[in-house]
Structure 1
Amino acid sequence: MADSSDSVFIDMESISLGGKEYLVKTHHGTVSVAVFGDQDKPALITYPDLALNHISCFQGLFFCPEASSLLLHNFCIYHISPPGHEFGAPPICPDGFMPSVDDLADQIVEVLNFFGLGAVMCMGVIAGAYILTLFAMKYRQRVLGLILISPLCRAPSWTEWLLNKVMSNLLYFYGMCGVVKELLLKRYFSKEVRGNVQVPESDIVQACRRLLDERQSINIWQFLEAMNGEGLRKLHCRSLIFVGENSPFHSEALHMTSKLDRRYSALVEVQACGSMVTEEQPHAMLIPIEYFLTGYGLYRATLSVSPRSPLSPSCISPELLSPESMGLKLKPIKTRISLEV
């Protein structure tokens, strides 16, 4: 699937909710990008988790009226899909080119170059947060800030490696079977919304289960294989990190924030929530994001402030984020002069 050409081409078609889908050809394969909003505004790019897309990963957040007055007012949204994760994606040949996480990060900069974008705001969930963090490390001048949800940052533990290996083998030999779906749902959601014998699954879990039924298992397998790599190091970027207290990646978020400069980063722990804060409790994200963006001169639409305010961020202190708001717990972040994640 790799392409040796220096050119990038595009195939565009209309998609739901007024957005447009662009198929951008890069040196590491074709990337689907769904664009929503005025492309003259500053850019916010998103990247979903394993087996998901921008609808299943971010619609809970972007469908909040408060989010529209904050995010859609200030940004044009560019939803980037991992290879083979877009709607109607054909199966990827398992014997073909398999992009590494570095290749996926390089794809992002090619997408930005195609759209003529400079520095952008980034939002990613779990594996998507890992890819965007790696992108920020490799292309520091292209990233204004990171909004990360339940991010991965360390090499997998033996337990995590074994679990991923089991899931990888099941995907390769049996496809999207029931065991794989249950493992993925546990990865995404807390037990409160997954339901049990007495309590049915929530609507968001049922919708996600239907999406997984439609996924090309070999495409998911390739993304999972790419993610079984090394930890991240030397991140220098303003960051706002969310994690559900019931997320299997809770310790990852704590570790990551312990390595960042507390003047420019904050950790928000969301109670009674799994990894997908964007879907389970999107309202819990709004106040912290609003304060985070204030440091860039960006405000809600009701404040009558131009969305094209200069993006020159000031120092963002975690104290600005209200610890009591909406059931959130904010943890102080230790400061280190030498940043290593």
Structure 2
Amino acid sequence: RTLPPCVITLHSGFLRLPDLLDGSQITERIFITFLSSCAVMQEHTVETAHGVLHVTVHGTGNARRPAILTFHDVGLESKSCFSTLFKFEEMQEIVKNFTVVHIDALGQEDGAAAYPAGYQYPSMDQLAETVPTVLQYFNFRTIIGVGVGAGAYILAKFAMCNPEAVEGLVLINIDAEARGWMDWAAHKVHLVICSVLICSSEEMSAGTELLQSHRERISKASHLPNMELFWKSYNNRRDLNIDRSNTFKCPVMLVVGDQAPHEDAAVECNSKLDPTTTSFLKMADAGGMPQLTQPSKLTEAFKYFIQGMGYMASSCMTRLSRSRTTSLSSSYSMEGSRSRSRTLSQSSQGGQMPPSPSHTMEVSC
């Protein structure tokens, strides 16, 4: 039978079914089949003890698998921080097998109303306390966390306080140490975010299109005061106090762009983690936002990481190659450019479990 007009929310936005099908009529069975093949997006508002969160959920995933939960960096929100990565063609193999949940930090979603003067924005610890509420709201038992910058810190804090809820962590541009040495006026926030948090020195000097687009977006944002509050909260963060005796209880992949502003901090964090459960991925030509500039390499590394956790064991890995480096924690390494090295799929033949991720990796392909 024919169905009334409806709206389906997809990754790319809102799509009217009659427009999609050019006005033709379809049966209910075909419609259900069509729905099942789509990555349906749902937007939610989740009330927490520290404020109301905007949360976006993609797909229904597999109830027996953890959800992939993301948390963005300062100056970004979930869409600008992660859409390039999660819309990437090769990432769809992962997306269709997991529920993907994007959290926008309080007041950071696109179009959010600016907080009034004098508003006390939550601390980083308090923002981490909002994550359990999201898990409870959606009835998620465990997650694989993917965080960038401030989001990486928040998910790291959450994982240390709730180890039973986290099966794996991908921490991009992590800085686990307290800083508290910058104080910037609100009208400078867009420059600070681009120059200190997001972009590498090469990107700043070159004035890349990516840099310009982020500057323009931040400077025109109606909730710029909220960004400043988030920045100040991150800048006033406490040291996570990570060491070999106080570390994560799950596999961790640290990611940073070569020559990125966060490179030294990520290296320092890597030195404090358990080398048998940690991999360190330093990406060449990635700048300060590898999830935006190198989605292909990051997707392949993420697939490898998930495979190492026992999920998607038969996943094809054909693009990412890893150059041989010397790691203080391990003598194991893999070599080279695409033309002269084994790929990740070749190094884990037949979908077998890959080697323990206790190595430094520099991606130069």
- With the length of structure 2 as denominator, give the TM-score of the two structures: 0.72
Specify the code of the residue in structure 1 equivalent to 2:72.
P
Which SS does the other structure have where 2:192 is aligned? helix
Q: Give the alignment of 1:250-329 within 5 angstroms.
A: 250-299=263-312, 322-324=334-336
1:235 aligns with 2:258: no
1:205 aligns with 2:211: yes
Report the equivalent of 1:45: 69
Report the equivalent of 1:27: 49
- Structure having greater relative contact order (Cα 8 Å, sep ≥ 6): 1
Report the equivalent of 2:326: none
Query: Distance between the aligned counterparts of 2:58 and 2:334, measured in 1?
Result: 30
Q: Is the 8 A contact 1:121 1:145 kept in 2?
A: yes
Which SS does the other structure have where 1:136 is aligned? helix
Report the equivalent of 2:319: none
How far apart are 1:23 and its partner, in Å?
0.5
Q: Which runs of 5+ in 1 are unaligned?
A: 1-12, 172-176, 304-316, 334-341
Q: Which runs of 5+ in 2 are unaligned?
A: 1-7, 13-39, 317-328, 344-356, 361-365
Query: Distance between the aligned counterparts of 1:297 and 1:331, measured in 2?
Result: 16
Of 102, 109, 116, which residue of structure 1 is paired with 2:139?
Answer: 116
User: CA offsets per residue over residues 136-180 of structure 1, 9 Å max, x none?
Assistant: 011111111100101110111xxxx33x31x2xx11xxxxx3x43
1:182 aligns with 2:186: no
Query: Distance between the aligned counterparts of 1:78 and 1:189, measured in 2?
Result: 25
Which SS does the other structure have where 1:74 is aligned? coil
Q: Is the 8 A contact 1:189 1:274 kept in 2?
A: yes
Gap change, CA 1:323 and 1:222, over 3 Å in 2: farther
In terms of fraction of residues, the more helix-rich structure is 1
User: Greater CA deviation, 182-191 or 42-51?
Assistant: 182-191
Report the identity percentage. Answer: 28
Query: Distance between the aligned counterparts of 1:90 and 1:15, measured in 2?
Result: 25
How far apart are 1:321 and its partner, in Å?
7.5
How far apart are 1:195 and its partner, in Å?
5.7
Q: Is the 8 A contact 1:47 1:125 kept in 2?
A: yes
Query: Distance between the aligned counterparts of 1:131 and 1:321, measured in 2?
Result: 31
Gap change, CA 1:67 and 1:108, over 3 Å in 2: same
How far apart are 1:52 and its partner, in Å?
0.5
Gap change, CA 1:134 and 1:73, over 3 Å in 2: same
User: Greater CA deviation, 279-288 or 246-255?
Assistant: 279-288
Q: Is the 8 A contact 2:71 2:78 kept in 1?
A: yes
Query: Distance between the aligned counterparts of 1:23 and 1:117, measured in 2?
Result: 16
Query: Distance between the aligned counterparts of 2:264 and 2:86, measured in 1?
Result: 27
Which SS does the other structure have where 2:130 is aligned? helix
Specify the code of the residue in structure 2 equivalent to 1:291.
Y
How far apart are 1:96 and its partner, in Å?
3.2
Report the equivalent of 2:221: 214
Gap change, CA 1:319 and 1:74, over 3 Å in 2: farther
How far apart are 1:191 and its partner, in Å?
4.3
Q: Is the 8 A contact 1:189 1:273 kept in 2?
A: no
Query: Distance between the aligned counterparts of 2:67 and 2:331, measured in 1?
Result: 27
Q: Is the 8 A contact 1:137 1:235 kept in 2?
A: yes
Which SS does the other structure have where 1:118 is aligned? coil
How far apart are 1:88 and its partner, in Å?
1.2
Q: Is the 8 A contact 1:126 1:152 kept in 2?
A: yes
Query: Distance between the aligned counterparts of 1:33 and 1:319, measured in 2?
Result: 42
How far apart are 1:131 and its partner, in Å?
0.4
Query: Distance between the aligned counterparts of 1:321 and 1:282, measured in 2?
Result: 23
Specify the code of the residue in structure 2 equivalent to 1:185.
C
How far apart are 1:63 and its partner, in Å?
2.2
What RMSD in Å do the two structures reach over aligned CA positions?
Answer: 2.8
How far apart are 1:272 and its partner, in Å?
2.8
Q: Is the 8 A contact 2:254 2:281 kept in 1?
A: yes
Query: Distance between the aligned counterparts of 2:11 and 2:274, measured in 1?
Result: 40
Report the equivalent of 1:56: 80
1:149 aligns with 2:165: no
Query: Distance between the aligned counterparts of 1:298 and 1:323, measured in 2?
Result: 25
Count of aligned pairs between the two proteins? 288
Report the equivalent of 2:110: 87
Q: Is the 8 A contact 2:303 2:315 kept in 1?
A: no
Query: Distance between the aligned counterparts of 1:292 and 1:112, measured in 2?
Result: 22
Report the equivalent of 2:22: none
Q: Is the 8 A contact 1:129 1:150 kept in 2?
A: yes
